Amino acid sequence: MDLLTQPMPWYIAGPIIGLTVPILLILGGKMFGVSANLRHACAACNFGNVEFFNYDWKEAGWWNITFLVGSVLGGFLGGYVFANPEPIDLAASTVTDLQALGINDFNGLVPTDLISWEALETPTGLIVLVLGGFLVGFGARYAGGCTSGHAISGLSDLQLASLMAVIGFFIGGLLMTYLIYPIIL
Amino acid sequence: MKILEYLKYLLIGTAFGFILVKSEVVSWFRIQEMFRFDSIHMYGIIGLAVVVGIISVQIIKKNNIKDTKGNPITIPPKDASQWKRYIIGGSMFGLGWALLGACPGPMFALLGSGITVMIIPILSAIVGTYVYGMLRDSLPH
């Protein structure tokens, strides 16, 4: 039981996540990428008849949507049924930096100051949840993939395009962390 | 049997979501730690995942390994000449990733872990994807 609730070290999780690529390729000829499902969702309710979403989403996406339902179930098992009761063992310098920005609650997977139904009623929480989600969706499709499609699958296939996308991910991430977050928090 | 096909992807997805949570990849805190270069944690996970991915893909290509249905495995190449979309789109994604502390896979795993408010960024991400689809022809690629 302890084995299921304790966190998994990075050197075990990394290789297993990497194995998702050959497993999906060999078991179904599928290329691993989560954000394609956001496009399938748009295709499923394409009321505005936007051309980018005019395709047979059931045919193209049934396997990936099923994979995504599995991910929700896996999240339920890992984060609810077998949840780790301890706070995350973060680097001390990160904790100090975040405390300076006003983050006080380090329990759980996410800070309730920013990510909770209560936080949604605050301007900062609204920006984090609504604008954050919007940018992830818009940016992933604009870049043609997200962390799984580019950083894992694309780099696994040594695609230059994916390396450029990952560089983009870090340009945006560093701008947010060092310039924008200190303003909005 | 179609039902077995569904079950296959459901199980792979379940393992994926479970590991995302257990390795704390889904954590806003871990993403902050990564962008502050304070720990090897996230770099170790992504780095080892890519190493395993590269070796696997090379083995598949060198040996012309077929998938379980007997079809040749092909990976469609991405057009690297469209550098603008990768840098601009990627930067927008990175802004969102650091702000929300979650990328698409973790958003759904977190929803499953009981953080129900994640339905808001998920819906926002679908809206974001839709707006991209509407503006696509007028954006630099």
Tokens of B109: 């795993």
Is the CB of B63 inside 8 Å of chain A's CB atoms?
Answer: no
What is the model's pLDDT at position B94? 98
Q: Which residues pair with B72 in a beta bridge?
A: B66
Helix, coil or strand: residue A179: helix
Mean pLDDT of chain B: 96
DSSP state of B138: G
Q: What confidence tens digit (pLDDT) does each residue in A88-127 have?
A: 999 999 999 999 999 999 999 999 999 999 999 999 999 9
CB atoms within 10 A of CB A62: 16
What is the model's pLDDT at position B2? 84
Percent of chain B past pLDDT 70, that is, above it, reads: 99
Please tell me the distance from the alpha carbon of residue A12 to that of residue A66, in angstroms, as a whole number. Answer: 25
pLDDT at B1 over 80: no
What is the model's pLDDT at position B40? 98
Please tell me the distance from the alpha carbon of residue B18 to that of residue B69, in angstroms, as a whole number. Answer: 28
Among partner residues B9, B24, B98, which is closest to A173 by beta-carbon distance? B98
Q: Kindly state the average pLDDT of the residues A40-45.
A: 96
Q: Confidence class of residue A1 from pLDDT cuts 50, 70 and 90?
A: low
Please tell me the distance from the alpha carbon of residue A179 to that of residue B94, in angstroms, as a whole number. Answer: 13
What is the model's pLDDT at position B21? 98
What is the model's pLDDT at position A3? 84
A185 within 8 A of B103, measured Cβ to Cβ: no
CB atoms within 10 A of CB A24: 24
Q: What confidence tens digit (pLDDT) does each residue in B42-53 have?
A: 999 999 999 999
Q: Using the beta-carbon criterion (under 8 Å), do A80 and B113 form an inter-chain contact?
A: yes
Percent of chain A past pLDDT 70, that is, above it, reads: 99
Q: Which of the residue ranges A1-5, A130-134, B55-59 would you say has the lowest mean pLDDT?
A: A1-5
Mean pLDDT of chain A: 96
Give residue B139's identity as a one-letter amino acid code: L
Is the CB of B140 inside 8 Å of chain A's CB atoms?
Answer: no
Tokens of B7: 């079950």
Q: Kindly state the average pLDDT of the residues A12-18.
A: 98
What is the model's pLDDT at position A163? 98
Among partner residues B47, B124, B133, which is closest to A134 by beta-carbon distance? B124
Give the residue among A55, A30, A25 at the shortest CA–CA distance from A41: A55
Tokens of B118: 């994640």
Please tell me the distance from the alpha carbon of residue A145 to that of residue A142, in angstroms, as a whole number. Answer: 8
Q: Quote ipTM for the complex.
A: 0.97
Q: Kindly state the average pLDDT of the residues B84-95.
A: 98
Q: Using the beta-carbon criterion (under 8 Å), do B54 and A158 form an inter-chain contact?
A: yes
What is the model's pLDDT at position A106? 97
CB atoms within 10 A of CB A46: 17
Is the CB of B84 inside 8 Å of chain A's CB atoms?
Answer: no
pLDDT at B41 over 70: yes
pLDDT at A2 over 90: no
Percent of chain A past pLDDT 90, that is, above it, reads: 97
